[in-house]
């Protein structure tokens, strides 16, 4: 299952971490490779580090280059500047410049795009990654994290993978949800939350993935909260959790704990009940 939200900052990672503590036999994967935060709560011990190269990048041999400008003209990504140097940030590694260069002065080389990690946590194995900043192809790294999680699950006889997904609806989100059995969308009762929920539900529907919804901070605007529930009811999407606003989430985060570890009270009960429902949907 994948936890996503469309809109950022609705509480995906806090809920994913709490689920990690409740799941009996699961592997965890943090697919928000841009800005991964799950490790701040799960505090993994890294067992294995894998170098990740995403798309390649063009490299120029200045001795061969005659400044003819053919490459600059052919590049669709504005990645060759006025001095005919490659701008690595803009380059998408397509290879067109290499093809058009009459002097054989360009080539495609690997770039160091980031790292994938296999780790152990107090709740079970974790697959995660760190994309270097300003890198392309986070979707490809997401796929690597998911493949690693699958291998971990097989090796350790785990029957579930819980994925903490990225915000948005684009490339890394699609890579995080394709082929999963269930997505849990964490939303909030704000106008932006509802707007973004509808779009992410559209994406899940587009790929035929069953969805469920959790309304976090459900009491900050009860009217909006009700309209989300109504919308979900009309569209046959189960609302599996209504989590009230509570500063416990931030306090637990500061201590590096899941909200359940931090304070086993009312909020914990709500999350435990939500977890039971989600588990039921996965059987």
Partner 1 sequence: MALLGTIMDVSLGDKLKIAIASGKGGTGKTTVATNLALSLENAQLLDCDVEEPDSHIFLGMRLEKVENVYIPVPKIDKKKCTFCGKCSEFCQYNAIAVVPNDILFFPELCHGCGGCTLICPEDAISEENRVIGIIERGLNNGLEFYHGLLNIGEPMATPLVKAVKAKAEGKKITIIDSPPGTSCPVIESIKDTDYCILVTEPTPFGLYDLKLAVEVVRKLKVPFGVLINQEGIGDKGVEKYCKEENIPIIMKIPHDKKIAKLYSKGIPFVKKMKDWEDKFIELYEKIKNS
Q: Is 171 in the site for partner 1 (CB under 8 A)?
A: yes
Binding track, positions 141-160, relative to partner 1; x by CB under 8 A: --------------------
Question: Minimal distance in Å, beta carbon 225 to partner 1?
Answer: 10
Q: Is 173 in the site for partner 1 (CB under 8 A)?
A: yes
Contact stretch for partner 1 (CB under 8 A) within 30-38, 43-51, 150-158, 272-280: 30-38
Q: Is 77 in the site for partner 1 (CB under 8 A)?
A: yes
- Between CA 67 and CA 65 the distance in angstroms is 6
- Between CA 41 and CA 36 the distance in angstroms is 11
Binding track, positions 208-227, relative to partner 1; x by CB under 8 A: ------------xx--x---
Q: Is 169 in the site for partner 1 (CB under 8 A)?
A: yes
CA distances, 73 to each of 9, 39, 124, 274 (Å): 41, 44, 52, 56
Site residues (vs partner 1, CB under 8 A): 5-10, 13, 34-35, 37, 40, 55-56, 74, 76-77, 89, 92-96, 99-100, 108, 131, 133-139, 166-175, 188-192, 195-196, 199-200, 202-203, 206-207, 220-221, 224, 247, 250, 253-254, 256
């Amino acid at each position: 299952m994948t936890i996503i939200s469309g809109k950022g900052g609705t509480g995906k990672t806090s809920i994913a971490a709490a689920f990690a503590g409740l799941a009996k036999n699961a592997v965890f994967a943090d697919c928000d490779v841009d800005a991964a935060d799950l490790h701040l709560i799960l505090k993994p011990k890294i067992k294995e580090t894998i170098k990740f190269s995403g798309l390649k990048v063009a490299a120029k041999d200045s001795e061969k280059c005659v400044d003819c400008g053919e490459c600059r003209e052919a590049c669709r990504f504005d990645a060759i500047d006025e001095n005919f140097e490659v701008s690595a940030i803009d380059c998408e590694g397509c290879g067109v410049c290499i093809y058009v260069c009459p002097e054989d002065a360009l080539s495609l080389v690997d770039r160091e795009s980031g790292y994938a990690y296999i780790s152990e946590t107090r709740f079970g194995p974790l697959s995660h990654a760190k994309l270097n900043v300003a890198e392309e192809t986070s979707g490809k790294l997401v796929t690597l994290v998911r493949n690693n999680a699958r291998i971990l699950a097989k090796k350790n006889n785990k029957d579930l993978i819980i994925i903490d997904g990225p915000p948005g609806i684009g490339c890394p989100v699609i890579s995080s949800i394709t082929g999963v059995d269930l997505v849990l969308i964490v939303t909030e009762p704000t106008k932006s939350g509802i707007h973004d929920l509808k779009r992410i539900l559209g994406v899940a529907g587009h790929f035929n993935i069953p969805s469920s919804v959790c309304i976090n901070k459900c009491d900050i605007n009860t009217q909006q909260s009700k309209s989300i529930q109504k919308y979900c009811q009309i569209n046959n999407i189960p609302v599996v959790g209504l989590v009230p606003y509570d500063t416990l989430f931030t306090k637990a985060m500061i201590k590096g704990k899941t909200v359940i570890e931090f304070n086993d009270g009312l909020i914990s009960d709500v999350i435990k009940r939500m977890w039971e429902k989600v588990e039921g949907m996965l059987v």
